[in-house]
Amino acid sequence: MEAREQSFSKLLAIEGNQWHYHVPKYQREYTWRRPNWEQLLTDMEEDPTSHYMGSIICVDEDKAHNPDDELIYEVVDGQQRLTTLSLLLMAIYQKLTAISKANLSGGEGVSGELEVLRHSISSKLLRKLRADTTIKPSLIIRDGEARYVARVKPSEQDGNYADYLYTLREVGLLSTPTKPPKYKYGLIYKAFIYFRDNTPSSEAELVQFLDQINKLEFIHISVSQQSKAYVLFETLNYRGVPLSAIDIIKNKMLSTLEARHSLDIDSSFERWQGILTKLPSDNDQNRFLRQYYNAFQVDSRIKIEKIQRATKSGLIKIYEELIQRRDAKWLFSDLIEKANIYNEFIEPSSLDDEEEAALLDLQRVGAAPSYTFLLWLKSLDKANWESENLFREVAKFFEKYFVRRNITDTPPTRDLDQIMIDLVSLCHGTIGEGLKLSLDLIGNALLESKRPPASIHTFREKLGGDVYSDNRDMTRYLLARLDNISHSREYAPDLWQRTEKDDYVWTIEHVLPEGENIPQDWIDMIGGGDAKRAKELQRDHVHKFGNLTLTGYNSSLSNSSFYVKQHKNVMTVLGTKISTGYENGLAINNREFELDGRKVSLSNIDKWTVEAIQARTSQLINDLVSLYSFER
């Protein structure tokens, strides 16, 4: 076994032996989705010097290599990261190419530095083979007269490799691959589009960003046999319990309290455990410590010069300095006090009904970045609030803000911490001027900031896309929200109820089934008996809002005919009797939309067609646009 630290740049170095990373056919398809892509960019933003990406485990069964050989590693662990980074490079390459063309058309000529960067990226994606190069024929990419091999080759499952090659064509690195039929619906394409839309655009920023990518750190591990690779994989992925940042901070805090303030360490430990009780998960604990600093750095006792924002990688350094150089006793007490407030965001059951509902909605829409501002706001004396209910009003505003943000990806995830820090600073200054805080002040500050949310037009456009495949969690939330605002008192089920296995009782249901094999009933209804036509229409419309609803037991409907889906019998789930069909009384199923001059709904329409999907999509989008307008 060989193991060595490698930067991403060296992992796919240009000079010397050419290392290529190919995923065997039998491995699973590319599975990373938007949360993974977001987390990658966020981690890079938080640690711009270098970020550890974990180990790449490869098999190299042929140890006898000549200096000019093309060394093909079989990737056992690392496909998701390597494929993702390759798609990120493609997005940057496309942007650099656009800049180069714009410079050329503007009479500026071709920048030598720009061409070097583009060549550096292309060499990390494709290797042009010499005429005398011997390589396995199935690995050769033929593009006209030229022959290439992919530096990173993803799994061929689910059409991943075909989509990957076509993306190389999209950015101008290949010319011959034809467009795969499901290209725009696959995760390869979606990842590329995500990175295209969420990475810098200027030449200077792209140069800096590319440097960050090249500095990403890996442990490259190669073994000579598949069996050894999988044993190693299982060993490295065994879940131990590593020492966390909060453990290190705790040790520093307790030892300092004992040495400097003569506090009994056992007593201090019990008080520290009180903090952990209020913050039950590791994620809650680490996020609290980051957001505490970000929220209260307006206080000179907290602010550390040259540290504008707490990040995961910088957390220990921040708290070591606060504990060592500031008043550790005061800090300890303040952390306990603020943890009690923070606990209300995580477990809001002790609050009044409206405030609890608002905070639960923030959890459901993934609005945890807003806790920075909410923590600061709720720690204030209410004499600084213009309205007695300001906290609840702001929480409801944030629900709108984060629904819009999460559907449109604007502002990008990497900007959210700074947006909240800036909002705290502005409101802190407002109080310093003797003024009170209002919802108008807070809302306008967010809407008119340097990083404003997307327009209502963009929001509408995104809702009209394949919302289910793009963002399932937000899609489910919006379906539940639409039902919640118009359900009757007679039938208002808890759409957030969970089973003993912690799965939702009410799940997303595709009216026109999403499965690969379309039943004949649906071929007849949606495609007029033409299976090919039905498949094309399914591909274009199955994930649209109008084709989605919620049902109490999705698997009982599955590929059933439309008639059965409407009229499915009542069943009992967790002691609650519900109808699993579209006549289940949900307001969202009874919401009328106009089709051919008639008012119909999912619960009473006689057949399900593309026109019905489009009409219902339009109606539901209008409802959501009205609900999530920022006009107050």
Range of the domain at 436: 245-453
Over residues 611-626, the pLDDT tens digits come to: 999 999 999 999 999 9
pLDDT at 632: 46
What tokens does 395 get? Answer: 């929480």
pLDDT score for 214: 92
Rg (CA), the chain: 28
Q: Could you say which of 177, 207, 236 is where a domain stops?
A: 236
User: Is residue 337 a part of any domain in this protein?
Assistant: yes
At 582, give phi and psi (nearest 5°): -75, -5
Q: Is the pLDDT of residue 37 over 50?
A: yes
pLDDT of residue 414: 86
Is 632 among the domain residues? no
Task: Say how far apart CA 240 and CA 238 lie, in whole Å.
Answer: 6
Co-location of 31 and 159 in the same domain: yes
Residue 465 and residue 404 share a domain? no
Question: Do 386 and 254 belong together in one domain?
Answer: yes
pLDDT per residue as tens digits for the range 264-305: 888 998 999 999 999 988 889 999 999 999 999 999 999 999
The b-or-e profile of 514-525 (16+ CB within 10 A means b, else e) is beeebeeebbeb
**Averaged pLDDT, 603-614:** 95
> For residue 424, is it within any domain?
yes
In a shared domain, residues 231 and 361: no
Of 225-234, 316-325, 423-432, which one has max mean pLDDT? 423-432
Strand-by-strand arrangement of the 126-128 sheet: 126-128, 146-150, 141-143
The last residue of one of the domains, among 182, 206, 236, is 236
> What pLDDT, on a 0 to 100 scale, did the predictor assign at position 96?
93
Per-residue pLDDT tens over the stretch 83-137: 999 999 999 999 999 998 888 776 666 677 888 899 999 999 998 888 777 778 8
Q: What is the pLDDT of residues 530-546, one digit of tens each?
A: 999 999 999 999 999 99
Please say whether the beta carbons of 593 and 618 come within 8 A. Answer: yes
Residue 387 has pLDDT above 50, yes or no: yes
Q: Is 389 exposed, middle or buried (0-12, 13-18, 19+ CB in 10 A)?
A: middle
Q: State the greatest distance between any 2 C-alpha atoms of the chain, in Å, as a whole number.
A: 83
Contacts made by residues 201-210, CB under 8 angstroms, sequence distance 24+: 201/95, 203/96, 203/99, 203/111, 203/114, 206/92, 206/95, 206/96, 206/99, 206/117, 207/113, 207/117, 209/92, 210/92, 210/117, 210/120, 210/121
* Span 568-580, pLDDT tens digits: 765 555 555 556 6
Q: Residue 62 pLDDT more than 50?
A: yes
Q: Is residue 209 part of a domain?
A: yes
Lowest mean pLDDT among 187-191, 286-290, 324-328: 324-328
The stretch 324-346 carries a mean pLDDT of: 93
pLDDT value at position 220? 86
Greatest mean pLDDT among 155-159, 163-167, 243-247: 163-167
Could you tell me the pLDDT band of residue 227, with boundaries at 50, 70 and 90?
low
For residue 550, report the phi and psi dihedrals to the nearest 5 degrees.
-115, 140
Query: Are residues 358 and 321 part of one domain?
Result: yes
Task: Work out whether strand 126-128 and strand 548-551 pair parallel, antiparallel, or are unpaired.
Answer: unpaired
Average pLDDT over residues 378-399: 97
Query: In the prediction, which pLDDT does 241 show?
Result: 45
| pLDDT value, residue 505 | 83
pTM of the model: 0.77
**pLDDT tens-digit readout, 209-219:** 999 999 999 98
Task: Give domain status of residue 139, yes or no.
Answer: yes
The residue type of 203 is E
Report the 3 state secondary structure along 298-309. Answer: CCCCCCCCCCCC
pLDDT above 70 covers what percent of the chain? 89
Which band of pLDDT confidence, cut at 50, 70 and 90, is reported for residue 16? Answer: very low
Q: What is the mean pLDDT of residues 377-384?
A: 97
What per-residue confidence (pLDDT) applies to 282?
Answer: 85
Give me the mean pLDDT over the 41-45 stretch. Answer: 85
The whole-number pLDDT of residue 498 equals 84
Do 548 and 405 lie in one domain? The reply is no
Give dist(CA 320, CA 274) in Å, integer.
Answer: 21
- Tally of domains within the chain: 3
Q: Is the pLDDT of residue 29 over 90?
A: no
**Closest by alpha carbon to 132, among 68, 73, 175?**
68
Domain co-membership, 180 together with 323: no
For residue 431, tell me if it sits in a domain.
yes
Mean pLDDT of 220-233: 69
Burial 232-271 (b: 16+ CB within 10 A, else e): bbeeeeeeeeeeebbeebbebbbebbeeeeebeeeebeee
Whole-angstrom distance, CA of residue 518 vs CA of residue 512: 9
pLDDT value of position 87: 97
Using 50, 70 and 90 to split pLDDT, how confident is the model at 240?
very low
Alpha carbon distance 614, 601 (integer Å):
13
Q: Considering the domain boundaries, does residue 500 fall inside one?
A: yes
What phi-psi label fits residue 235: left (phi over 0), alpha (psi between -120 and 50 degrees) or beta?
A: alpha
Are 265 and 178 in a shared domain?
A: no
Domain boundary pick from 236, 253, 276: 236
**535, HSE (Cβ side, Cα atoms, 13 Å):** 7
pLDDT tens-digit series, residues 449-501: 999 999 999 999 999 999 998 889 999 999 999 998 876 566 667 888 888 88
Mean pLDDT of all residues in 606-611: 95
Total residues belonging to the chain: 632
Q: Which residues pair with 218 in a beta bridge?
A: 6
